[in-house]
Amino acid sequence: MAISNSIMRGADKMVLASLSMSWLPIPLVRGRGRSVSIIYSQNYTSNSNSITATDADYKKAKTKTRTRSNKEYDYEQVGVGDDSHVPVMLGEVLDVFSSSQRSICSFVDCTLGAAGHSAAIIRAHPELQLYIGMDVDPVAHDKARSRLHSLLQQPHLHSHLILSNYRHIKSVLGDLRHPLSGVDGILMDLGMSSMQVNNPERGFSVLCNGPLDMRMDPQATLKAEDILNLWPDAEVGRILREYGEESNWYLLQNKIIQARLCGGLHSTGELVDLIRNTTSRSKGGRQGWIKTATRVFQALRIAVNDELKTLEDSLYACFDCLAPGGRLAVISFHSLEDRIVKRTFLNIIESHSLDGDGGDKEGRRMEMRNIRNGSDAEETWIRQMIQGCNGTILTKRPMTPSLEEERLNCRCRSAKLRVIQKV
């Protein structure tokens, strides 16, 4: 069967027009010779001897980079209406760690927060024998301890609530009285909790005036105020450009440096005023400067907490801590995080060994096959997988919240869930 060039443009994109559902084994070659296989939940063949596609068809297919959840939103399960932080994509997370083929005897919540996800996981898995919750924020840690207190009283359940950054997951597991060979499930929710955003004293909110702090760990020394008033011009610009992906970074950099001549910036209100006065009125009015301010605040928060490097290192560490068949689920909230999760997952499954030995790439190449077999047929949330020698990415495209969840919780709009399973 001939396939037109318009279909095969791009490393792993294609347009399928006028198709019926049956087999069409099409080898896809990802960039830099990745030796992994793409596993599709549905395979297609053409009704004719050739496939043609317009530029509009190709563009439409190219922009389809996510899988929206069709999970029914459970109001009671999530706790909509109470004063607690609403966990994002809770139903989807429960699905990831629920299967009749595998039990969850050990679980680590790397980003405990208000313990919304953890509470639901503990209730859903009576077989759970070890639970570990980690958070670097003492306020979140105390709130989670209070919420989980009654759930953790089960006699067969050993629980540990650790005030620590998830980058230390290996040492936390190593310090257990009874060391594990591996963990069955690990969750990382990279989003800001409502209690952090809504507290002006933390400095995370664009709309509330407070100190320019932005530290997740109150014991850390670096604050956003230090970056804005003391760091070199070029570093300030780099942070805005790389961490905020702000197109107007150079003008903002100059305005921030000029503000130092008048005493500097010492509150979130002063920074927001600078951004508002710098942003052109032609760029969307109030929404324009709010979007710019959101990107600037994101950039500063990432720099203060070294979030991106910590995330990448922690993904490798978490995968190392998984037992065979164990799953790591990560919820990201902006493109920089999601890019790191996607790239790191691919690097993990394509490497010959976790110590970085590349090995024989040809020997590791695998054939494309239908994913619907006896072991995963019940897991309907799995659409497409990428399989390598060390593990399987269960979400080739990230899963995103349902339309109903987005309507009820606007802060979940940018959430993306990716899952990897260890071989």
Q: Is residue 313 part of a domain?
A: no
403 has pLDDT over 70: yes
Do 106 and 159 lie in one domain? The reply is: yes
Do 386 and 331 lie in one domain? The reply is: yes
Do 60 and 84 lie in one domain? The reply is: no
Q: What is the rounded average pLDDT of the residues 21-36? A: 40
174 has pLDDT over 80: yes
Do 208 and 190 lie in one domain? The reply is: no
Do 256 and 269 lie in one domain? The reply is: yes
Q: Is residue 54 part of a domain?
A: yes
The CATH number that applies at residue 268 is 1.10.150.170
Per-residue confidence band for 10, with pLDDT thresholds at 50, 70 and 90: very low
Do 211 and 358 lie in one domain? The reply is: no
Higher pLDDT, 58 or 122: 122
Q: What is the rounded average pLDDT of the residues 11-32? A: 38
User: What does the pLDDT read at residue 46?
Assistant: 37
What one-character-per-residue DSSP string does 226-237 give?
A: HHHHHS-HHHHH
Least confident of 7-21, 148-162, 315-329: 7-21
Q: Angle CA(267)–CA(271)–CA(272) in degrees, nearest 5?
A: 115
Higher pLDDT, 312 or 410: 312
User: What does the pLDDT read at residue 381?
Assistant: 92
263 within 8 A of 284, measured Cβ to Cβ: no
In the chain, how many domains are there?
3
Domain boundary among 53, 68, 83: 68
Do 124 and 202 lie in one domain? The reply is: no
Q: What is the rounded average pLDDT of the residues 382-408? A: 94
Do 217 and 298 lie in one domain? The reply is: yes
The CATH number that applies at residue 363 is 3.40.50.150
d(CA 217, CA 205): 17
Q: What is the domain range of residue 376?
A: 75-194+320-422
- Whose tokens are 């301890």? That residue is 145
Q: Which helix (DSSP H) or strand (DSSP E) does residue 185 occupy?
A: strand 183-189
- Whose tokens are 């400095």? That residue is 203
Domain boundary among 259, 274, 307: 307
Average pLDDT, the chain: 81
Sequence letter at residue 223: K
Q: pLDDT tens across 72-81, in order? A: 766 555 554 3
216 has pLDDT over 50: yes
Percentages of the chain per state (helix, strand, coil), in multiples of 5: 40, 15, 45
**Percent residues over pLDDT 70 in the chain:** 73
Domain boundary among 47, 68, 89: 68
234 has pLDDT over 50: yes
Q: Is residue 314 part of a domain?
A: no
Nearest Cα residue to 125 out of 87, 145, 151, 88:
151
Question: Encoding tokens for residue 213?
Answer: 């702090």
Nearest Cα residue to 18 out of 43, 51, 61:
51
Do 44 and 85 lie in one domain? The reply is: no
Q: Is residue 283 part of a domain?
A: yes
Q: Is residue 312 part of a domain?
A: no
3-state secondary structure (DSSP) of residue 386: strand
Do 190 and 324 lie in one domain? The reply is: yes
User: What does the pLDDT read at residue 281?
Assistant: 59
Do 162 and 245 lie in one domain? The reply is: no
Higher pLDDT, 25 or 342: 342
Higher pLDDT, 236 or 12: 236
User: What does the pLDDT read at residue 41?
Assistant: 43
Do 399 and 251 lie in one domain? The reply is: no
DSSP 399: E
d(CA 190, CA 43): 34
Higher pLDDT, 108 or 46: 108
